[in-house]
Amino acid sequence: MYLIVGVDPGKTIGVACLNLKGNLMASGHYPNESLESVINEIKKVGTPVIVAGDKSNPSELVRKVNSSFNAHLFSPKREFTMELKRRIGRSATLTNQHECDAYAAALSAYNHYSNKFKQIDHMGVAEESEREKIKRQVVTKHSVYEAQTGKKANRR
């Protein structure tokens, strides 16, 4: 399963994993854990297509998680307020602040791509796995047409 993973760095690392439909699949917070063990926890859920942080300038830890999966790095244009992150986290019944921050980051990335993802879901491709592959290609800067057909679009 392909994922959008939000990461909140710090002494306690927060992680939230969404599927490509925007549903929360897993979340956790890892106090004093190594980067390797956090990456292994993410791998148990799926393969990240996008790794997101909640800061406009992603931290070194977010960049390392991203590079370990060769995923697309997403950062919001503007940083979220603490109140907004809490509200977003509560909407998903998350109580740990690190998980709320990670969820807000992942949800922001999902919202950025959601129109394209919905377009792909309504293309008539029957297999979910095939739709996920197309979504992954769109995230890596292919057009929906290019991802679906394998042909280059005529761009001027």
- Please report the pLDDT score of residue 151 as a whole number: 72
From start to end of 23-125, where are the E strands? 24-31, 47-52, 72-74
Domain positions in the chain are 2-113
Pick from 37, 31, 74, 69: nearest CA to 53: 74
Averaged pLDDT, 81-99:
87
CATH of 2-113, picked from 3.30.460.10, 3.40.50.2300, 3.30.420.140, 3.40.140.80, is 3.30.420.140
* 5 DSSP assignment: E
Please state whether the predicted TM-score (pTM) of the whole model is above 0.85.
yes
- Please report the pLDDT score of residue 90 as a whole number: 78
pLDDT tier at 147, thresholds 50, 70, 90: confident
Residues 154, 43: Cα–Cα separation, whole Å: 37
- Please report the pLDDT score of residue 88 as a whole number: 85
Q: Would the pLDDT of 94 be above 70?
A: yes
Cα dihedral sign, 51-24-111-116: positive
Rounded percentage of the chain residues whose pLDDT exceeds 70? 96
Averaged pLDDT, 123-152:
81
| Number of C-beta neighbours around residue 114 at 10 A | 14
- Please report the pLDDT score of residue 143 as a whole number: 74
Dihedral, CA of residue 88, residue 93, residue 95 and residue 98, to nearest 10? -50
Averaged pLDDT, 96-119:
94
Mean pLDDT is lowest, of 37-51, 55-69, 70-84, for: 70-84
Report helix, strand or coil for 42: helix
Residues 100, 85: Cα–Cα separation, whole Å: 6
pLDDT tier at 145, thresholds 50, 70, 90: low
| First-to-last C-alpha distance (Å) of the chain | 35
pLDDT tier at 48, thresholds 50, 70, 90: very high
Element (H or E) spanning 17, and its range? Answer: strand 12-18
Q: Report which of residues 36 and 86 the model is more confident about.
A: 36
- Please report the pLDDT score of residue 53 as a whole number: 96
- Please report the pLDDT score of residue 156 as a whole number: 53
